[in-house]
Amino acid sequence: MINVTVTGGQLSQAEINEYIIHGQREYPEKTISAIDLNVDGDYVDVDYHFSDVPFQRIRRITGYLVGTLDRFNNAKRSEVEDRVKHSVIS
């Protein structure tokens, strides 16, 4: 469900639905969570708000691309603990 806020005037449900459809076409890779519609005479300012995208960190550890170490056996975990971590000096 998309939360729509209309300020400065009134819009019909059909007009609001068109702004929703337009946003979904304009930003197909994003999920719209809310829309702010500010009516100013014949003009409407549109502000789309998007849902956060879940992000998982992926690292290369001991030759494997992993997000977490939960599937590593004890030998691989030990190998990770023995690694020399390099820091960047700025």
Q: Report the candidate in 15, 5, 16, 13 with the shortest Cα–Cα distance to residue 38.
A: 5
**Which pLDDT score, from 0 to 100, does residue 37 have?**
97
Question: Which is it for strands 3-7 and 32-40: parallel, antiparallel or unpaired?
Answer: parallel
pLDDT band at 3 (very low <50, low <70, confident <90, very high): very high
Give the tens place of pLDDT for each residue, 28-83. 999 999 999 999 999 999 999 999 888 778 877 777 788 788 888 888 888 888 87
For 1-90, strand residue ranges (E) read 3-7, 32-40, 43-50, 59-61, 64-66
Look at 3-7, 8-12, 21-25, 58-62 and tell me which has the smallest mean pLDDT.
Answer: 58-62
User: Phi-psi bin for 35: left (phi > 0), alpha (psi -120 to 50), beta?
Assistant: beta
**Which pLDDT score, from 0 to 100, does residue 63 have?**
77
Tell me how far apart the alpha carbons of residues 19 and 63 are, in angstroms, rounded to a whole number: 48
